[in-house]
Amino acid sequence: MSQKIAVVGSGLIGQNWSMIFASRGYKVSVFDVDQGQITRAEKNISVTLTQYEKDGFLRGEIPAAEQTKLVTFTSSLQDCLSGAIYVQECVPENLELKKKVFAQIDELIDGETLVASSSSCLPSSAFTESLKNRHNMLVAHPINPPYFVPLVELVPAPWTKQEVIAKVRELMEIVGQSPITLRRESLGFALNRIQYAAINECWNMYQSGLLSAEDIDKVCYDGLGPRYAFIGPLQTMHLNADGIVDYCKRYADGAYNVQKETFKPIPVQYDVETAEKIQAEYNASIPLDKIPEKRKWRDARLANLAKMKNHLEKDS
Amino acid sequence: MSQKIAVVGSGLIGQNWSMIFASRGYKVSVFDVDQGQITRAEKNISVTLTQYEKDGFLRGEIPAAEQTKLVTFTSSLQDCLSGAIYVQECVPENLELKKKVFAQIDELIDGETLVASSSSCLPSSAFTESLKNRHNMLVAHPINPPYFVPLVELVPAPWTKQEVIAKVRELMEIVGQSPITLRRESLGFALNRIQYAAINECWNMYQSGLLSAEDIDKVCYDGLGPRYAFIGPLQTMHLNADGIVDYCKRYADGAYNVQKETFKPIPVQYDVETAEKIQAEYNASIPLDKIPEKRKWRDARLANLAKMKNHLEKDS
């Protein structure tokens, strides 16, 4: 009999997690307080999995109809958690709410159940400190949209047991996600630190009038981004010379000089005045009312890229 | 009759440029001083275009055999430049050499010919100042591998004419590259500034022991990189809220705090000691002798991504 996973919260992130767990045959019980939201989530998962199957995007080897059946819904937190080996919390990013939900979960689980929060900013130490099962709790932060962008940032609290981190990492790998492990809590986790660093230089270049916003974006999506879809910044250094040590000997002084001459001191404040100029520039290409359409455009590409990466890995 | 383009230097970058221009029907004359290098380049272009055609990676609508015929080779710079509307210089990144080659080109062209350097670091003002045709000269920096990563950084010298920048930008678009225009010379151009910013935070996270090098790379290629293959950092802000102004109102203070708490002051020096630790970690996954193989792995993925992006644009 397949094992059970509990998903607490049935918004978009909860739905993505449910489909990810079901793709590898786990039984998923999804909890929500809002019956209307449950109805929408149930329908959305069914429609989405059917569509993914049609488009060749479905994960795992199980047909969509069977995956859909693996996901059930409940408005009883007790029923949701009962017998679950793992709980993925997906409630809105609000400290008081996380505290409340984690306290309820803590009361209903046994000492074996592992509990991860999908929190994108809040460290789990902020809402698990006083709980009796806190050693089994951590953050497992997904990236949007999780079904097609597999990174999961595992961030332990100071009291999270090492074996718990290892088990959650293993579970993430089993279901096809791509876990990384932070060795301690750190503001912004890892992805946002790289993202803010990249934005900083985009912001500085725009503010100094060096390039248009459209051209700055193009530097990324037609230049640096394709590379970063397959290899990371450190690997890039390693491959662009005879290893990363050789890279540093050859290029580190040049990189230092570029930074010294062109970078502004950090932290950089993303000011509304500059944002307004950029937004005015986007009025021709991505006006506010076209944002939902452009998000769909992006997600279709992320789905195709995920499929392609999967196929290439199987071939090589 | 199709127009002629001159490529000066027949190394890998010169070969890539030749194939790009030939893909849209331009006649390409490639110059090199080294007859052995010419023989290798000629053979390599023929083999490569045939292979690309077979794999579905060939650019343009012209068969590979015809594209190959469009590229001819010469050891006479005069013959190479004669009648060319545009010159793409691709000699090694060495200031004295660039000065010498540009002075020779300057003597042989008329006032209509446009001349771009593939220089990745040196601004063209460093080697065109004293030339009579300097108004027609600039940098057009490709990204490796240019056939599959279309970005070209156009960097004018203070004396480059506006209409020259516009014409080169148009030519780049005609041949399917993706040009951006810097409004003035700037150390590192644009791509390396974003790249160094990203490396800085990877370096800081590794040095502080927050994550392994493998996990840091994964943050990029399974998290941030897929997104950046299709939309840039500023567009990401725009789409992740109701526009970039809304993003700043909601998230700029959080981003500021993450930077303030976790970023180190810039410039960051990529020190050999840290690089040695990272390289030791790569010994299991990408040891030095496997680097050429991993570069091929990467380039195959970049080729597939370029093909996919092209198909998706045609469909949408």
**pLDDT by residue, tens only, chain A of 316 residues:** 689 999 999 999 999 999 999 999 999 999 999 999 999 999 999 999 999 999 999 999 999 999 999 999 999 999 999 999 999 999 999 999 999 999 999 999 999 999 999 999 999 999 999 999 999 999 999 999 999 999 999 999 999 999 999 999 999 999 999 999 999 999 999 999 999 999 999 999 999 999 999 999 999 999 999 999 999 999 999 999 999 999 999 999 999 999 999 999 999 999 999 999 999 999 999 999 999 999 999 999 999 999 999 999 887 6
CB contact under 8 A, B216 and A233: yes
Residue with tokens 């998000």: A295
Provide the number of structural domains found in chain B: 2
| Domain match, B137 and B273 both | no
In the listed set A181, A215, A235, which residue is the last one of a domain according to the structure? A181
Contact A226 B306 (CB under 8 A): yes
Asked whether the beta carbons of residue B226 and residue A306 sit closer than 8 angstroms, the reply is yes
- Check if the beta carbon of residue A185 is closer than 8 Å to that of residue B211: no
Helix runs in B183-240, H state only: 191-207, 213-219, 225-228, 233-239
Claim to verify: residue B133 and residue B275 sit in the same structural domain: no
Q: Is A141 in the same domain as A209?
A: no
Query: What digits encode the pLDDT tens for the residues B7-21?
Result: 999 999 999 999 999
Q: Are residues B232 and A240 in contact, defined by beta-carbon separation less than 8 angstroms?
A: no
Looking at the fold, whether B142 and B215 belong to one and the same domain comes out as: no
Q: How far is A58 from chain B (nearest CA, A)?
A: 18
| Strand, coil or helix: B283 | coil
- Give the CA angle between residues B101, B106, B111 to the nearest 5°: 150
Task: Give the range of the structural domain holding residue B70, as residue numbers without chain letter.
Answer: 4-181
Query: What integer pLDDT is reported at residue A152 of this predicted model?
Result: 98
Contact between A200 and B197 using a beta-carbon 8 Å cutoff: yes
Let me know whether A155 and A207 are in one domain.
Answer: no
List alpha helices for chain B, DSSP H: 12-23, 35-55, 64-70, 77-81, 95-108, 125-128, 162-174, 191-207, 213-219, 225-228, 233-239, 244-262, 272-282, 291-315
Which of B181, B215, B247 marks a domain boundary? B181
Looking at the fold, whether A44 and A171 belong to one and the same domain comes out as: yes
Question: Which residues of chain B have a CB within 8 Å of the CB of A192?
Answer: 255, 258
Give chain B's end-to-end CA distance (angstroms, integer).
Answer: 34
CA separation for the pair B64, A243 (Å, rounded): 35
Query: Does the CB of A167 have a partner CB in chain B at under 8 Å?
Result: no
Type of residue at A209: G
CA of residue A277 relative to chain centroid, distance = 29
CA separation for the pair A103, A32 (Å, rounded):
16
Residues B98 and B233 in one domain: no
Instruction: Mark whether A51 and A141 lie in a shared domain.
Output: yes
Q: Which residues pair with A31 in a beta bridge?
A: A8, A74
Claim to verify: residue A174 and residue A207 sit in the same structural domain: no
Closest approach of chain A CAs to the CA of B55, in angstroms?
14
Is residue B161 assigned to a domain? yes
Query: For residue A204, which residues of chain B lie inside 8 Å, CB to CB?
Result: 193
pLDDT confidence band for B314 (50 / 70 / 90): confident
- Based on the fold, state whether residues B93 and B139 are members of the same structural domain: yes
pLDDT at res. B316: 66
pLDDT at B127 over 90: yes
The confidence band for B315, taking pLDDT boundaries of 50, 70 and 90, is confident
Same domain as A204, residue A147: no
| Residue B89 within any structural domain of the chain | yes
A210: contact with B, CB 8 A cutoff: yes
- Which of B181, B205, B223 is the endpoint of a domain? B181
Per-residue tokens: A174? 């089993």
Mutation site, B12, B186, B270, interface A, largest A CB count within 10 A: B270
Tokens matching residue B134? 């300097």
A137 and A7 Cβ atoms separated by less than 8 Å: no
Residue A314: predicted pLDDT? 85
ipTM of the complex: 0.97
Q: What is the pLDDT of residue A39?
A: 97
- Position A316 scores a pLDDT of 66
**Which residue out of B12, B196, B304 would a mutagenesis test of the A interface target, given it has the greatest number of A Cβ atoms within 10 Å?**
B196
B298 touches chain A (CB under 8 A): yes
Tell me which residue of A161, A150, A261, A132 sits closest to A204, measured CA to CA.
A261
Of A229, A278, A294, the CB nearest to B234: A278
Rounded to the nearest angstrom, the minimum Cα separation between B165 and chain A is 14
Note whether A206 contacts B: Cβ–Cβ < 8 A.
yes
Assess if residue A45 is contained within a domain: yes
Mean model confidence pLDDT for chain B: 97
B104 touches chain A (CB under 8 A): no
The residue among A170, A148, A152 whose CA lies nearest residue A309 is A148
Residues in chain A within 8 Å Cβ distance of B219: 151, 153, 180, 190-191, 194, 232
> Is A26 an interface residue toward B (CB < 8 Å)?
no
Residue A299 and residue A149 in contact, taking contact as beta carbons nearer than 8 Å: no
Both B251 and B209 in a single domain? yes
Query: How far is the C-alpha of A91 from the C-alpha of A37, rounded, in Å?
Result: 13
B157 has a chain A CB within 8 A of its CB: no
> Which CATH number fits the domain that encloses residue A222?
1.10.1040.10
**Dist. CA A8–CA A93, nearest whole Å:** 13
- The token duo for B184 is 């003035």
Q: For testing the chain A interface, which of B235, B240, B311 should be mutated: the one with the most A CBs within 10 Å?
A: B235
